[in-house]
Amino acid sequence: MHATTPSESESDTNRGTRRESWNADRTATDRALLDRDAQVYLKQSVSTPCLTSIAGAEGSYLIGTDGTRYLDFHGNSAHQIGYGHPRLVGAISSQLRTLPFVPRRFTSDISVRFAEALVEHAPTGLERVLLTTGGSDAIEVALKIARAATGRFKTLSFWESFHGAGFGAASVGGEQLFRGGPIGPLLTGTEHVPPIGCYRDAFGPGHRADEPHTEECGRRLAKLIDYTLRVQGDVAALIAEPMRAVPAMAAPGFWAAVRRSCDETGTLLIFDEIPTGLGRTGRFSASEHEGVVPDLLVFGKGLGGGMIPVAAVLARPELDVGADWAFGHYTHEKNPVISRAGLTTLEIIDDEGLVGRASSLGELALERIRAITESFESVGDVRGRGLMIGIELVLDGDARTPDPDLAESVLYHCLRRGLSFKTTMGSVLTLAPPLTISDAELDQALDVLEVSMRAAIDERNRR
């Protein structure tokens, strides 16, 4: 493949052949809005062309302009508490009436309470906070803190990872779509190693998530990381998603080994929990599954309840080294409406027991998906934690050749039956419902998935 041709990414790239027949079925009103969107917005991969226009969002559903209700298992991973949570709508409305804005240099009760609540929820020891209005910015703030604290500038991160679209975030990211073609040059000193994951272990035979983990899975990658950190001796930070949103999990013990390598080489460990945080994986932070505490951790996406954009960097107190410099200083840094949205979201997650719910519903969903897909030869792997689940489709079980065509077909079958999700890396059906989803809605979605997978496979077989 030519280096300027983007490879498969974490999202659907809108280049599939089935888009045309989907477009042809849109209503006139929908079509008109899609055309106006295409006329006025700059085009960019993944975001455009849009699938359809949306007129409402409530609970687990997106509601199309044409009235179609989609159970939303995509939500940009920002809908942990579902859409339009009434408690959050009420809290934001009342905040707008009392204290709508605070310029930088001032503080407020609500912004302090939000930061304190974040510290309470984060892994122990991460006691300092800086807020931004987006995940990409928060990643870059974390990188600047790591530079300031270590006096080093290099980073180590993972190919295929995504950390945001800013120049710094894209530099540590490993997705060609955000780094290649016309986008560079990027930051220097941003080195990469192959991605985590056992089904597609870059250094081993690989295995399905439901098979016993081999001794080798992850070990060679951990060794490569250890070697890379030691041979240079001047890497400021290793930055990674502890569990990838693709999804992919590291082998047991992998992160503990990486933590040791970081400690022994003076490298800071930054965990990007932008999609995995806030209970999505069945723990508040995905890093809790690994028993590893990073030096810096970033939350984002659903932190503003899917209504307000906000992200947060949390750091150990010793990393509070930037008093003389400006690492973020964003206009809406301590915006009280943002803080109210963040604090109320954390309260909703606690009060509704959403972390536990993600864990138990996730187990049930995984079990049911494994049962549904047992007989499908096209399913190479089913994996996930909590309500972040992936079904990887392959042409050939042994060779594990990705099957993006079948994945796309399943996606459109599901969309037509009112279930929305995204495919990642072309061939992984990636399911991330709201953590507030009801048992009945989850059942309904899995029914749709089963029927759609059968329909797509039958269609393939008839060809």
Ligand X SMILES: Cc1ncc(COP(=O)(O)O)c(C=O)c1O
What does the binding site for ligand X look like in residue numbers (CB under 6 A)?
A: 134-136, 139, 162-164, 241, 245, 272, 274-275, 300, 311
Nearest partner of 359 among 446, 248, 281, 285, judged by Cα? 281
The angle subtended at Cα 30 by Cα 29 and Cα 35, nearest 5°, is 100
DSSP structural state of residue 320 = -
Q: CA-to-CA distance for 114 and 327, rounded, in angstroms?
A: 20
Backbone angles phi, psi at 229, to 5 degrees: -70, -40
Give the Cα separation of 292 and 335 in Å (integer).
32
Closest C-alpha to 204, from 187, 217, 190, 186:
217
Q: What is the DSSP string of 196-244?
A: P-STT-TTS----TTSPPPSSTTHHHHHHHHHHHHHH--EEEEEE-SEE
What are the beta bridge partners of residue 390? 383, 430
CB of 428 to ligand X, least distance (A): 14
Residue whose beta carbon is closest to ligand X:
135
| Angular region, 232: left φ>0, alpha ψ -120 to 50, beta rest | alpha
C-beta separation of 459 from 451 below 8 A: no
Conformation bin of residue 384: beta by default, left when phi > 0, alpha when psi is -120 to 50 = left
Helices 219-232 and 254-265 meet at what angle, rounded to 10?
Answer: 10
Task: Give the C-alpha separation, 302 to 75, whole Å.
Answer: 9
Find where tokens 């996406």 sit: 301
The closest of 194, 185, 190, 193 to 152, measured between CA atoms, is 190
In one-letter notation, the amino acid at residue 1 is M
Neighbours of 413 (CB within 10 A): 20
Helices (H) and strands (E) in the chain, counts: 13, 17
DSSP class of 394: B
**Cα dihedral across residues 48, 387, 136, 181: positive or negative:** negative
Q: What is the CA radius of gyration of the chain?
A: 22
* Joined tokens for residue 236: 């400021």
Residue 112 is given by DSSP the state H
Q: Which two tokens stand for residue 219?
A: 């070990």
Of 137, 135, 116, 136, nearest in space to 127 by CA: 116
Residue type, 367: E
Cβ distance to ligand X smaller for residue 162 or 327 = 162
Smallest separation (angstroms) from ligand X to the CB of 50: 17
